């Protein structure tokens, strides 16, 4: 694997909401074209890592989950919980009527059917018409880019620094009722990046904007290629940088703690390109 080095700017770029001056898009005229990349961190004891995801273009639904690593000390692989949760979410999506998939209902059904030990964050997004519907528990999340600029970013849920909300079967775990629900209008050409904290802890939105600008110059948008570039050239590389002022380092500083450099973690990136159906 060849990793291209990218220089970190070490600055925080806040999302700027753009004025909606676009033509109203008729209902049912848009679809997501999806691709994904997953790079588990190097751990011989857990070669599959602790992240999981699903893609269901037929139902226009996508999801990610991140098994919480704190269970390792108890001999539990939280990746098993995350994988079972996403598998159950995929099946729950298929049980809902076309055009009426409810991400929170999917999350709840998946949660009720998951029996593995451990816990996991989860984020599920569904496109219905020209509206993206999302349900999120924990510090996974999504971003929407329009004209190579961040226009929306989901809010993470943490009990305290580095302790996200998490679904699980223990009494102390959170429940799907805790999920943050969002509905966001989207337009043709928008890029949705759904991801685990392996991306969010290591990459600033401005860095993703740079990758999108390069993709635009090349004239095509390949969701799989784009997801791989974001996961490898940005998240993986930045996670290995011991000296950068990463988003995780900044969050630690705001919490009164110290962390230098990136945060080595499993990295899952799902890219959905919004295009016209016809």
* CATH number of the domain where residue 271 is located: 3.60.40.10
CA distance 269 to 272: 10
Q: How does pLDDT run across 206-228, given as a tens digit for each residue?
A: 999 999 999 888 778 999 999 99
In a domain, 243, yes or no: yes
Write the pLDDT tens digit of every residue in 93-134: 999 999 999 999 999 999 999 999 999 999 999 999 999 999
Question: Phi first, then psi: what are they for 34, rounded to 5°?
Answer: -115, 155
Reported as type and span, the H/E element at residue 30 is: strand 30-39
Amino acid 4: pLDDT: 34
Asked if the structure places residue 127 within a domain, the reply is yes
Task: Evaluate whether residue 12 is within a structural domain.
Answer: no
Number of domains in the chain: 1
Mean pLDDT of the chain: 90
With beta carbons less than 8 A apart as the criterion, state whether 50 and 41 touch: no
The whole model's pTM is what?
Answer: 0.89
Give the separation between CA 89 and CA 113, rounded to whole angstroms. Answer: 9
Q: Is residue 3 part of a domain?
A: no
Residue 25 lies in a domain: no
Tell me: the pLDDT tens digits for 44-59?
778 899 999 999 999 9
- Give 160: exposed, middle or buried? Use CB within 10 Å, 0-12, 13-18, 19+: exposed
Domain that holds residue 107: 30-276
Q: Which residues of the chain have pLDDT under 70?
A: 1-28
The answer to the question of residue 2 being in a domain is no
- Predicted local distance difference test score (pLDDT) of residue 20: 41
Q: Is residue 184 part of a domain?
A: yes
């Amino acid at each position: 694997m060849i990793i291209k080095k990218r220089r970190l700017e070490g600055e925080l770029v806040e999302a700027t909401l753009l004025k909606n001056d676009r033509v109203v898009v008729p209902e049912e005229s848009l679809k997501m074209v999806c691709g994904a990349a997953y790079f588990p961190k190097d751990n011989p004891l857990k070669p599959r890592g602790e992240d999981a995801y699903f893609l269901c273009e037929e139902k226009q639904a996508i999801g990610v989950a991140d098994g919480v690593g704190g269970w390792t000390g108890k001999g539990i692989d939280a990746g098993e919980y995350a994988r079972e949760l996403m598998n159950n979410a995929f099946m729950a999506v298929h049980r809902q009527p076309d055009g009426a998939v409810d991400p929170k209902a999917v999350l709840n059904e998946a949660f009720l059917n998951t029996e593995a030990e451990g816990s996991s964050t989860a984020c599920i997004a569904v496109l219905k018409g020209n509206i993206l519907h999302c349900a999120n528990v924990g510090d996974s999340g999504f971003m929407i880019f329009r004209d190579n600029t961040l226009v929306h970013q989901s809010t993470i849920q943490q009990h305290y620094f580095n302790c996200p909300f998490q679904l699980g079967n223990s009494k102390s775990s959170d429940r799907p009722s805790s999920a943050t629900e969002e509905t966001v209008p989207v337009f043709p050409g928008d890029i949705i990046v759904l991801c685990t904290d392996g991306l969010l802890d290591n990459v600033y939105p401005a860095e993703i904007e740079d990758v999108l600008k390069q993709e635009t110059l090349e004239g095509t948008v390949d969701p799989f290629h784009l997801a791989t570039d974001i996961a490898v050239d940005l998240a993986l590389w930045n996670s290995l940088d011991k000296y950068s002022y990463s988003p995780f380092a900044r969050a630690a500083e705001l919490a009164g703690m110290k962390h230098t450099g990136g945060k080595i973690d499993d990295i899952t990136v799902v890219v959905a390109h919004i295009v016209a159906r016809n």
